Every structure is written in C-alpha cells, then in structure tokens.
Amino acid sequence: MSGTASKALGATAWAATGLGIGLFLFYAPPLINPANREPLGEAFRIFFFHVPAAWVTGAALLGSFLASIGYLVRRTPEWDHWAAGFAETGWVLATVVLISGPLWAKAAWGTYWTWEPRLTSFLVLWILYLAYLMLRNGIDDPEKRARYSAVLGIIAFLDIPLIFFSIKLWGSIGHPPPNYGFFRDPVIRNTILANTAAFLLLALHFSARRAAQERAANAHHAVVPAAETGGESHA
C-alpha cells in the first residue's frame, strides 16, 4: 500500500470512528430492554462499541489464523507479515473489549468481573495473543519466527469458537447471549452497523500499517547474504 493510500485509509478509519461515537452518543435513543420494556440506563450505550469491538476482534484474529495457514502452506514472508498485523490488531481490539466490558458489568451486574465461561474464555484469548506477540518479539530469525508464530496463530484461534459457543456449552451465568431484539429498531441497528464498519476500517488500517512495518524489518534482514549467516537451512 502506498504512503498516500495508507494515510487515506487511516484518516477514513478515524473519521468513521468519530462518526460512530457521535451516533451512539447523540443519535441512538436510550436503550430499552426488549424483553420487559424497562429502560437500561446510559451505561448501556457501551453496547455500541463493546459489541462491535468484540466482533471485529474475531474478524482480525480470523485474518491472522488464515494468514498463518497461508504461511505454512506457501512459506512466503508476506503471509507472516499479515498474520502478525492482524494478530496485533486483534489483541489491541480485545483490550478495548476488556476495558469496556468490566465497566459495563459494574453498572449492570454490580461487579467488574465474574469467572463465568464467556468472560474467562475471552481473557484466555487475550493472554494467548499476548503470548503470540511475546513469541514474535523473542525470536530474531525471521523464518523461525514466522513458522513458530503460524503454529501459535492457528492454535490460539481455536479459543474463538469456544468463546462463541461458551454460553450454549456452559449456560449463561453472567454475560447475556446476543439480544437480537435490539436490531428491530432501525436507529439502533444502523448505529451498531456503523460502529462495526468503523472498527473494521480501523482494524484494516492498523493491520496494514503493522504488516508494512514487518515487511520493512524483513527487507532489512534480507540484505544480509545467506553465506554470512552460516548458510543454515530451515526445514
């Protein structure tokens, strides 16, 4: 991606993010519980960025998972650059989920955290991708780093279906299942879709930037002739 295209994507992503915030603060009506018509309170506007951030975390980590498979199949560095970019982006967005979730939980349930299936499996996801980033940081050889990270990138992603099905598997103790009743209101639906689009643009922007940095670092490494590294072969 050229410098201009990269800057344009970044500017668009941040403009969409600003618009998304404006929509859920000033355009969306106060949320009403579709089940009993009770008002849910102002803190429930956290819904409009907590849920899209969680969805786009999944999308970014799916990107990393697919790029990791791509690397193991093709063994070309570009797959690894994108796997790294998507993984770091997914971890950054997962952090947003872990910041906004407990604050919302405090308002809704009276406690910041409870060790119930969805929260616990999501925290495990955050730790797995933190381990992924630490692993990348700890290996200097690009080929070895790419191979090890691809394996971890595939294993770590297996937690996502576990998060998704956690409520069905173990029942909902705290975190509610998706409440599609909200989607019947077009204003609420459009607000959440606009915020999801904004997070998707932001994720693409972050991932592309990060992939470009990995590419630049690898290009720097590649100028060292193979003979100088002892001609070590990597299986």
Q: How far is the CB of 103 from another protein (least distance, A)?
A: 4
Q: Is 45 in the site for another protein (CB under 8 A)?
A: yes
Give the pair of three-digit tokens for residue 96. 């947003």
CA–CA–CA angle 10, 92, 213 (5° rounding): 55
Tell me how far apart the alpha carbons of residues 82 and 44 are, in angstroms, rounded to a whole number.
Answer: 34
**Residue 185 host element (H or E):** none
Among 40, 62, 127, 130, binds another protein (CB under 8 A): 40
Footprint (CB under 8 A) of another protein, residues 86-105: 92, 95-96, 99-100, 103-104
Question: Whole-number minimum distance, CB 210 to another protein, in Å?
Answer: 7
Between CA 39 and CA 120 the distance in angstroms is 28
Residues forming a β-bridge with 179: none
Q: Which residue lies nearer to another protein by CB, 112 or 164?
A: 112
Q: Is 61 in the site for another protein (CB under 8 A)?
A: no
Helices 117-138 and 142-157: crossing angle, nearest 10°?
170
| Interface with another protein (CB under 8 A), residue from 1, 43, 66, 135 | 43
- Contact region for another protein (CB under 8 A) — 10-18, 62-70, 73-81, 132-140? 10-18
Residues near another protein (CB under 8 A), total: 32
Is the distance from CB of 87 to CB of 132 less than 8 angstroms?
A: yes
Q: What is the DSSP string of 139-153?
A: --SHHHHHHHHHHHH
Which residues are at the interface with another protein (CB under 8 A)?
10, 14, 17, 21, 38-46, 49-50, 53, 92, 95-96, 99-100, 103-104, 106-107, 202, 206, 209-210, 213, 216-217
